[in-house]
Structure 1
Amino acid sequence: MTVIVLTLAIVLGTMAGAMLYGHRKTRAQSMTEWAVGGRRFGVIIFWFLNAGEIYTTFAVLGISGFAWAYGAPAYLAFTSVSLSATIGYWLMPRIWEAGRKHDLVTQADFFAHHYKATWLGVVVGVSGIAALIVYVQIQIVALSLIVRLTLGPEVSPTLAAIIAAAVMLAFVYVAGLRSAAFAAAVKDVLMVLIVVGLCTTVASKVGASSMLDVYRLAQDTHPGIGSFPGMKPEAGLSTVWLMTAALNVALGNWILPHLFQLCFAAGSRTTIRRNAIWQPIYSLSYFFIILLGFGALLAGTQPEGGDTNAVLLQFVSDSYPAWAVGLFAGTACLLALVPGSVLLLTAGSIFSRNVVLPFRPGLSERATLLISRASMIVFAGIAVWLTLGGSRSLVEIGLSAYAAIGMLAPGVFLAFLWPKANAPGIFAGIVAGYVALLLPQAQELWNTILPEWDHGLVAMGVDAIVAVVACLLFGMRKPAVPAAA
């Protein structure tokens, strides 16, 4: 009962505060206000909302479970955040400037406007929504695990996933991006305090003398855990995998439609650049998260069915009192709700503006907003279906999402780097990239000639090469000159 009460108190209290905050600032009556917060986010609110997209269930539950299962490959989290911020320092201000200058709301708006091709905006919109739904799956997987921990194993996985999706929809439905920004600040502060609190006591739970001693014990008990390829060499998670996966995540991070849209919400270029400078500090928190994964391994934690996603939840449940479990479960709910709600909001915005509106240009602002909100229900339902049909780790699902959205990366980078980039060439690159990523024969080829490389990065490279060549070819085609009368 203590666990349920504390979990509900944290979630419902944060939801109430988020909605009040969103309404107090301004009611979301337009797409611009609802989807990009009126383009007025300052340094603090932008920091927490962007950090909210880093400090998620992928980071806390996914990385700790990855450390428990594989060891050193969990270090991916350290490298990808810092590389992403480095690229973001250059890329984000350019995205922001384009959005403000041309009144853009979604990533697909950018493609349609820059390449002067509404049809390309539709293609990019559909691709972006697909990647977002995969990313929503991460949050629903995690949130359903927390639901079952809180309410008991008698709650079926199907019901838990449906409850998770319903809570996520309720979270964002009223106030849009501003509500998520408020909740991001609450959950970041709570989770940092809780993770540090757990880490200061984890040594006593596993027979170690200090936090650093936990690492020593893990190495002595499981030789090779702290170096590549980790505890399962057959998994192919080598240093080559680390470098290519980290680069793929970094190049694709700001291409994710919700983070692209977040750039539009910033109040100034300075806000974005300050955020990029200081955001890598968040990667230091992974020291504590990986520590907890190693602690769970030393404690002999065995989640139901060997589910790596549930390792940290099971460890806390087994080793700590009910009040600590309740605080952790409630805060972990926010880790899923905040990014999940932003993902759904972004998918809804793209669907109404870039998939429906091109075919129904006469839709009013109100109708567009209603379509956005209604479509979120459908997308959440698809994510629930994917959740019930798969059993991959949160890290693996996350890398799949980055691989999928990476096919749009060449189109974004070339837009700012190469004036000759054109819509047909970018489209050709996207098609080639998805073929290289999804075709089974292509997967076999990459495994043969580029063993242990992240397939997402390989497919992005194919995309970029084809896009450049196709842009050159299409650029050579000159319009026909009408014959003289």
Structure 2
Amino acid sequence: MNWPALIVFIALFLFVTGLGFWAARWRAGDLTRLDEWGLGGRRFGTFVTWFLLGGDLYTAYTFIAVPALVYGAGALGFFAVPYTILVYPLLYLIFPRLWSLAHKHGYVTSSDVVLGRYGNKWLALAIGVTGIVATMPYIALQLVGMQVVIGAMGVSGNGVIGDLPLIIAFIILAAFTYTSGLRAPAMIAVVKDLLIYIVVIAVTIAVPLKLGGFGPIFSALPAAKLTLAAPVGATYGSYSIYATLALGSALALFLYPHSLTAILSSSSPGAIRRNAALLPAYSLVLGLLALLGFMAVALHAGSNPAFADGFKRYGNSFAVPALILSVFPGWFAGVAFAAIAIGALVPSAIMSIACANIVSRTIYRGFLVPHATDSQEASVAKLASLLVKVGALVFIIFVPVPYALQFQLLGGLWIIQVLPAVILGLYLRMLNGWALLAGWAVGAGLGTWMAGTTSFKAAVFTLSFMGIHFPSYIAIWALVANIIVSVILSALLNPFVARAPVLAD
């Protein structure tokens, strides 16, 4: 048991717990209203939105998984850096328009936007359910990051005892989310991001100093890990995989309910545009995080007997904890591990709130009780947020981590299928709700089938045309099929199927 690390970890965790409960009084509003509880009253300015989006998008799983991918696969793992750069021009150009539409008509979710644009409640339901299903394994995987750092401090065990720290953490999370809504993760995100910046800067200074600079670090790496493998023959190989992973991930990122929730909570379109300019600072941190994978290779972390059990239990995900434990004293390891654990709480809270908003607005009020009061709607959302957390906790306890990763793969390719209805619908009037529903079904079905051909173990599918082979991120192929079906069917259906009046922007 690493007691110095554990004591610092617990102290910081208790501090952010107190912040979470106190947040209910911060910028106080009527928390019996869904837009107050689930969107923070839409009053977050540039500063708070920056931390909220950063805490939302750069999760504990990011801090564990990106270096782990670089540690295992090398340069391919750096696709996460360009994709987070690609996404911000999209944020700048598209999402202020969506915010204005949502603010004008009181929309809380992407399902609301779709219902308002097309008047098709079944399409709105499909968009909402897709968001929930795609987000659930995402919440569960935050626990993977928390599991890894808890295990790194020596807290382990089998059965309920081993899972007890996670259970306690999520009980705390459920409590302050229920009482404070989106204000809690918004406030905690400030602490989380500051801690992450401190840890990343410290590691990128300390490890090169210990190893004699970045030259020895890169010299210690196998040549195959330093660059992408060149295409062979008529196969584009890792080049097309790298490019489509970056593009697909960029297109999907702000379609997740939690990303959209953070955007809709901002105070104005200007706040969103300013954040599009400021958020690339996180991409710099992400690049440094990816380098941690190379640093772990240079330190031979995987061959260190002290970390044999950690790598056996958690695989390459243990690379970052091993690196931190190799370089820093116990108390600073506690700071780093607390930063990662808090990095699980913030996005988990936002994700559960986003799913709860969908359950309450789209399912409860949209289908079950159309005349529900605002107070009833908010109460259902709060209860739904608890159920979502319980579901995620059960998922990670009883489903092995490799299967959780496979569900996350499916979640990514499913969520991108809402792009035509949510994003293209902001600009193209000719799209038909029923055609979009058919396109969504084709894209989700085709993507699931492609993933199934790999036994849900890979995100890449190869298409061949005229002897040329194009391995690509599955979500891109599925999205292309979705758009083709949506556009062609819209052209065929529009003369015969009456469309609902489209609300003005």
Stretch moving more, 342-351 or 277-286: 277-286
Of 2, 15, 18, which residue of structure 1 is paired with 2:17?
15
1:125 equivalent in structure 2: 128
Secondary structure of the residue aligned to 1:453 is strand
2:233 equivalent in structure 1: none
1:196 equivalent in structure 2: 201
1:452 equivalent in structure 2: 471
Please list, as runs of the form range in 1=range in 2, the aligned pairs for 1:59-74 lying within 5 A after superposition.
Answer: 59-74=62-77
Q: Deviations over 1:88-142 (max 9, x none)?
A: 1111101101111101011111111111122322221111100111211221211
Secondary structure of the residue aligned to 1:228 is coil
CA drift at 1:287 = 2.9
CA drift at 1:60 = 1.4
Is 1:41 the counterpart of 2:44? The answer is yes
Secondary structure of the residue aligned to 1:362 is coil
Go from structure 1 to structure 2 and tell me whether the alpha carbon gap of 1:478 and 1:373 turns closer, same or farther (over 3 Å shift).
Answer: closer
Please list, as runs of the form range in 1=range in 2, the aligned pairs for 1:5-404 lying within 5 A after superposition.
Answer: 5-27=7-29, 28-150=31-153, 152-154=155-157, 156=159, 158-205=163-210, 208-210=211-213, 212-219=214-221, 222-229=222-229, 238-302=238-302, 303-305=311-313, 307-358=315-366, 359-387=368-396, 388-392=398-402, 399-404=409-414
CA drift at 1:440 = 5.1
TM-score (ref. length: structure 2): 0.87
Residue 380 of structure 2 aligns to which amino acid in structure 1? I
Q: Deviations over 1:219-270 (max 9, x none)?
A: 3xx122110149xxxxx97121111011111111121112122222111111
Go from structure 1 to structure 2 and tell me whether the alpha carbon gap of 1:393 and 1:51 turns closer, same or farther (over 3 Å shift).
Answer: farther
Q: Deviations over 1:308-331 (max 9, x none)?
A: 222212332344221011111111
Partner Cα separation in structure 2 for residue 167 and residue 9 of structure 1 = 14
Tell me the C-alpha RMSD between the 2 structures.
2.4
Is the Cα contact below 8 Å between 2:206 and 2:327 reproduced in 1? no
Partner Cα separation in structure 2 for residue 67 and residue 289 of structure 1 = 10
Q: Deviations over 1:429-481 (max 9, x none)?
A: 110011111125984794343542000111111111111111112112156xx
1:436 equivalent in structure 2: 446
Q: Deviations over 1:34-75 (max 9, x none)?
A: 111111111101111111123222331111111111110111
Is 1:468 the counterpart of 2:487? The answer is yes
Secondary structure of the residue aligned to 2:279 is helix
Q: Deviations over 1:260-306 (max 9, x none)?
A: 22222111111111111221122111232122211111222232346
Secondary structure of the residue aligned to 2:301 is coil
Q: Unpaired runs of 5+ in structure 2?
A: 231-235, 303-310, 455-459, 499-505
2:501 equivalent in structure 1: none
% of aligned pairs identical? 23
Partner Cα separation in structure 2 for residue 74 and residue 29 of structure 1 = 44
Is the Cα contact below 8 Å between 2:98 and 2:426 reproduced in 1? no
Is the Cα contact below 8 Å between 2:53 and 2:263 reproduced in 1? no
Is the Cα contact below 8 Å between 1:177 and 1:342 reproduced in 2? yes
Partner Cα separation in structure 1 for residue 154 and residue 172 of structure 2 = 15
TM-score (ref. length: structure 1): 0.90
